[in-house]
Structure 1
Amino acid sequence: MTSPLVLGPMMRFVDETSASIWVETHSASQVTVRAGVNSWGARTFAVHGHHYALVEVMGLAPGTVTPYTLEVDGTTVWPDPESGLPASKIATLAPGRPLRLAFGSCRTSVPHDASGNRSHGVDSLRAYALQMASDDGTPWPDLVAFLGDQVYADSTSKQMQKFIRSRRSIKEPPGKELKDYEEYAHLYYLAWSDPANRWLLSTLPSTMIFDDHDIRDDWNASRTWKQEMAATPWWHERVVSGLASYWVYQHLGNLSPEERAQDALWQRVVRHTGDNELDIGAELDRIVERADANPETYRWSLCRDFGDTRLLVVDSRAARNLSPDRRALLDDVEMAWLDDSMRGGFRHLLIATSLPFLLPMGLHYVESWNEAIAEGAWGSLPAKAAEKLRQALDLEHWAAFQKSFQRLAVLATEVADGKRGDAPETVMFLSGDVHFSYVAEVQRSTGSRIIQAVCSPIRNPLPRLMRFVTAISSYGLAASSGALAARSAKVPDPPFRWSGIKGPWFDNNLACLEVAPEGMNLWWQKGVVEGGDQLHPRLQRVASLTIAPRKTTPRNIAPGTVEQHTPQGP
């Protein structure tokens, strides 16, 4: 018998007294969450023939862990008694408890058998799920932050292509890439339906932000790129479907109850009293179509405070201004929001942005040089060549938007110098995207430590040749030669210098951090198959370090200021 539940339950926003639980069902339904003697319910709403509910669980006690069940039209559909996995639980935040966070990006959805693990590596998220299900005493994070590319709309698996072929000719544009909302819905199903990952996401709260592959490679890299896409007959439906599905599957659950109360579309859902299920598909399409045309009409970024730690999750894709005279990674409205949110008075300030703010310096200079040439610093013919290079090599990170890079560098430095409230111990950027992991630090002798921590990919490793090319182009002589190239195009120098203190490494990884008395602990973990048991990989630590607070006496930054560990694993 087919379950009335398609996807979920997914534990999304959780604070000290509330939890938001998201589901997709097969048909219009009443969804009920039961925890202890209490229950909470919500009716489904419809989007393009699909049915969803977000149940707001309210009135919980802080710092408690409560098992829950899920019903659809009075029938218990979760947990699955045949899964062998533990009961799903609601774990509210405890006042004063230091933050523990998992993060990473770039996860492809292919089978977890020998073939899938050979082509895409072991899914580090799934290995993490299996360890947590074993209940070995490992503390649970308060949150997992998915920093982009949870789904790949432009590079599809055989399973996704089979679904596409069942609906349309794959020989017609956009071919093997996604075309519409129905295909996005199936792509999310493939991403979130594995039993172990599904169980993990039913208990572990999550926040999410998109990156380019959620829509298409190089999404909003430049005005030229956007004009080329707009000229295709399929792009408009693709970007509207991608953003509408993102709103449903990812963004809605990011919001707190208070933030959802300010969302006009969501208020239409909760206030609907008619007998029929409310269909918001057309209205949602209009909202995201307007947001794509004018990013200032909708904000995807968010801010959350966890006691003495502030987490900013920044949209570095949709909020871009691509006009030649105002080119910026964040438009004026988004930058004003970030300016207002970048404050001291916290022990740690975390800025989660899918694109690394601090690339290895060699890559930083190459991207800043390329932007200048592509925008006409050497004339029209070199600009065309630079644009082709930009798109071919994905040269469109913060470094390739110098106006935004320089502004954010000033904001981070002002926070670190105590000019925006008491200086925190660390100003830390959390990122993904680049398919290798590393930690870098700005060279400072006073104030807060400014750190870049990258975890990428969760499951989509670079080919070995690309690993070699990436390492060569990022480090060593690449930095000095890149700096000369950037200066030749009159690119301003960065306001500070930075260097690597850990990495790079190229494993599939899920990273974790925890606020501890000694500072900020970080570690990266991967899945390892033993004895040919592809479905039950063991979690192995790849790298770890502690970012200790700066001593009162000013001193120069050096790798020795970071307590580094080398546990089992490479």
Structure 2
Amino acid sequence: MATSPLLLGPMLRYVDERSASIWVETRADCVVSVHADGRSWETRTFAVHGHHYALVEVDGLDPGASVPYEVRIDGAAVWPESGSDLPAPVIATGEPGRPLRMAFGSCRTSVPHDRSGNRTHGVDALRAFALAVAAGDQPTPDLVLFLGDQVYADSTSKEMQEFIESRRSLREPPGKELKDYEEYAHLYRLAWSDDANRWLLSTVPSAMIFDDHDVRDDWNASLDWKRKMEATSWWHGRIVAGLGSYWVYQHLGNLSPAERAEDELWQRVVAYDGDGELDLTEAVDEFAARVDAEPTTYRFSFARDFDDIRLIVVDSRAARDLTPDARGLVDPPELEWFDARLRGGFRHVLVATSLPYLLPTGLHHVEAWDEAISQGAWGRPAAWVGERLRQAVDLEHWAAWQNSFQDVARMVTDLADGRRGEAPQSITFLSGDVHYSYLAEVDREDGARIVQAVCSPVRNPLPRLLRWFTVVMSYGIAAPLGALAARSAKVPDAPFRWQTVKGPWFDNNLALLQDAPDGLAMTWHTGVVDDGQERRPRLEEVESVVVPVERREPIHVRAEPRRRTPVSRRAVR
């Protein structure tokens, strides 16, 4: 069988009412074309570190259309694959007035979809969802939003380690972790090349933001953490490869055509008029090194409007201010950008951030306390302990950056109370990272609801011991004890109170959010293997809730979900 010249993709990325962006990786320098509805669009590939990519901008489409498409390389058809039993991929453009339906989740490891992989890492909820959509058992969403840890650069699979060992010794730093761009390219191939998920990503638009494991656990947790990394022999190459590959594989497709036109790297691509293929390697490496050293020089956050629903996706990793006396989960320019987009006039405002903004209250207080003592609230010896604790058990969510937490709390409260224009019905934070799912709500009498929805992991469940530890640290006695500890370290009180109204649950999950007449409907779904059909898991509902339009009506279960007893599994956090 001949090897296809299409290595990865096609991935349907940014789509609006009249345009679509289709991303591919190919085996060689070539011309990539997309054919749909009797028309065609084409572009030449560009190269980064010997890999070949193209992003085809499809324009002039009709709103509300659903058009099958074909991808060709140098004139030869390569997608859809011949003999595939999956439906033909389509470009479905936006349509004014169509209610938004969006899938979201985070934390997905790239291990095989066989008995061994399902036993150690659980069933891939994304694959189960893809098969359900392909079979017509689930409506096709308008967007799938990936909220971090699309790839694990630090906790690698057996397959990834075999590739690393074919290039270098696993005994040389950084060992089993990724070292350079070539290894990142292979990791993305493992993550996105299985048949069902590849099909899903070819027919459902996607948006993405990184979290720590896309680069390394606790990425930018503190200045102390960064200095330790910079003292190694391998970190500079790792961060340059991580940020450079992120721009190529993830961020480029997040951008609208207008935003891409302003992107410094994309401008080089469209301006190139030389013979053959543009080699963008040097520019990508220089860009990544600069962004790591000077994060204010580039923005990975982005925003999109779906009629009267605004989605704001916030970079909570690269755009940090690590200066000890001015710590910020988002630096001042990033906060200013976020502030400018947090405006009234929308029915719903969705704020996507890989790290939960509202943790369970016990864990929130513990993280706020740890930041305070790490900053010297209890003296130098306690500061040393606090820093070690922060890095050992991942105490570095929004709660551990109180300057940013308090700033965003005031901004969101102003929006909810109508001081930034007409108040929305709801403000919903969408997050992942913590490897369990839950729904929390701020206690408010009037104004817009403020809600936190978490879906994590898509495929990487916590071991049972860590599940128990999570519950102990997050709920029950941990809440009042954590609050006392935080007050003893002079942590300022939050401007509002909140509580978990559903959860936690620990299944591998993919969540669906839908704009429904009675409010925002959210469901969490997991994959279940029947009769040994490891590669064809069934999609099963874990939880279903509605955040009602009417403020006086509480959040409620929409329909009794079908539950299952989680199977004991081991996984690497």
Contact 2:528–2:537 at 8 Å: present in 1 too?
yes
SS of the residue corresponding to residue 154 of structure 2 reads coil
C-alpha distance in structure 2 between counterparts of 1:569 and 1:130, whole Å: 20
Contact 1:33–1:39 at 8 Å: present in 2 too?
yes
Letter in 2 for 1:296: T
C-alpha distance in structure 2 between counterparts of 1:208 and 1:432, whole Å: 12
Deviation sequence 1:382-423 (CA, Å, 0-9, x none): 111111110010000000000000000011101100000111
C-alpha distance in structure 1 between counterparts of 2:127 and 2:157, whole Å: 18
Contact 1:416–1:449 at 8 Å: present in 2 too?
yes
Letter in 1 for 2:4: S
TM-score by length of 1: 0.98
SS of the residue corresponding to residue 265 of structure 2 reads helix
Contact 1:83–1:195 at 8 Å: present in 2 too?
no
CA drift of 1:561 comes to 4.5
What residue in structure 2 maps to residue 371 of structure 1?
A: 371
What residue in structure 1 maps to residue 156 of structure 2?
A: 156
What residue in structure 2 maps to residue 83 of structure 1?
A: 84
CA drift of 1:274 comes to 1.0
C-alpha distance in structure 1 between counterparts of 2:142 and 2:533, whole Å: 30
Deviation sequence 1:502-555 (CA, Å, 0-9, x none): 00000000000111111100000000000111011100000001000234xxx6
What residue in structure 2 maps to residue 505 of structure 1?
A: 505
Aligned pairs (5 A) from 1:394-413: 394-413=394-413
What residue in structure 2 maps to residue 282 of structure 1?
A: 282
Letter in 1 for 2:370: N
How big is the alpha-carbon RMSD for the aligned residues of Structure 1 and Structure 2?
Answer: 0.9
Contact 1:442–1:450 at 8 Å: present in 2 too?
yes
What residue in structure 1 maps to residue 571 of structure 2?
A: none
What residue in structure 2 maps to residue 34 of structure 1?
A: 35
CA drift of 1:61 comes to 0.3
Letter in 2 for 1:294: E
The number of equivalent residue pairs is 563
CA drift of 1:267 comes to 1.5
Letter in 2 for 1:87: A
SS of the residue corresponding to residue 541 of structure 1 reads strand
SS of the residue corresponding to residue 324 of structure 2 reads coil
C-alpha distance in structure 2 between counterparts of 1:105 and 1:265, whole Å: 27
Aligned pairs (5 A) from 1:130-529: 130-136=131-137, 138-529=138-529
C-alpha distance in structure 2 between counterparts of 1:473 and 1:89, whole Å: 46
Contact 2:545–2:555 at 8 Å: present in 1 too?
no
Letter in 2 for 1:568: R
Mean Cα deviation higher: 288-297 or 157-166: 288-297
Contact 2:45–2:277 at 8 Å: present in 1 too?
yes
Deviation sequence 1:421-461 (CA, Å, 0-9, x none): 11101000000000000000000000000000000000000
SS of the residue corresponding to residue 453 of structure 1 reads strand
CA drift of 1:563 comes to 4.5
- Misfit runs of 4+, over 4 Å: none
What residue in structure 1 maps to residue 556 of structure 2?
A: 562
CA drift of 1:326 comes to 1.0
Contact 2:66–2:92 at 8 Å: present in 1 too?
yes
C-alpha distance in structure 1 between counterparts of 2:63 and 2:40, whole Å: 17
Letter in 2 for 1:194: D
Deviation sequence 1:105-131 (CA, Å, 0-9, x none): 000000000000000000000000001
C-alpha distance in structure 2 between counterparts of 1:83 and 1:382, whole Å: 60
Letter in 1 for 2:404: S
What residue in structure 2 maps to residue 71 of structure 1?
A: 72
Deviation sequence 1:126-178 (CA, Å, 0-9, x none): 00000111123x32111000000000000000000000000001001000000
Letter in 1 for 2:287: I
Contact 1:153–1:184 at 8 Å: present in 2 too?
yes
Deviation sequence 1:73-131 (CA, Å, 0-9, x none): 11100001222111010000111111111000000000000000000000000000001
Mean Cα deviation higher: 245-254 or 96-105: 96-105
C-alpha distance in structure 1 between counterparts of 2:300 and 2:217, whole Å: 19
1:23 equivalent in alignment to 2:17: no
What residue in structure 2 maps to residue 97 of structure 1?
A: 98
Unaligned runs of 5+ in 1: none
Letter in 2 for 1:545: V
What residue in structure 2 maps to residue 61 of structure 1?
A: 62
C-alpha distance in structure 1 between counterparts of 2:264 and 2:160, whole Å: 34
Contact 1:12–1:205 at 8 Å: present in 2 too?
yes
SS of the residue corresponding to residue 325 of structure 1 reads helix
% identity of equivalent residues? 65
SS of the residue corresponding to residue 290 of structure 1 reads helix
SS of the residue corresponding to residue 208 of structure 2 reads strand
C-alpha distance in structure 2 between counterparts of 1:431 and 1:562, whole Å: 20
SS of the residue corresponding to residue 144 of structure 1 reads strand
Contact 1:449–1:550 at 8 Å: present in 2 too?
no
Contact 2:33–2:40 at 8 Å: present in 1 too?
yes
Contact 2:546–2:555 at 8 Å: present in 1 too?
no
C-alpha distance in structure 2 between counterparts of 1:327 and 1:399, whole Å: 12
Letter in 2 for 1:27: A
What residue in structure 2 maps to residue 112 of structure 1?
A: 113
What residue in structure 1 maps to residue 569 of structure 2?
A: none
C-alpha distance in structure 1 between counterparts of 2:303 and 2:184, whole Å: 27
Contact 1:547–1:563 at 8 Å: present in 2 too?
no
What residue in structure 1 maps to residue 15 of structure 2?
A: 14
C-alpha distance in structure 2 between counterparts of 1:133 and 1:561, whole Å: 31
Contact 1:447–1:550 at 8 Å: present in 2 too?
no
CA drift of 1:276 comes to 2.0
Letter in 1 for 2:213: H
SS of the residue corresponding to residue 321 of structure 2 reads coil
CA drift of 1:564 comes to 4.5
Letter in 1 for 2:130: A
Letter in 1 for 2:534: Q
SS of the residue corresponding to residue 276 of structure 1 reads coil
Contact 1:98–1:308 at 8 Å: present in 2 too?
no
C-alpha distance in structure 2 between counterparts of 1:236 and 1:362, whole Å: 36
C-alpha distance in structure 2 between counterparts of 1:5 and 1:450, whole Å: 44
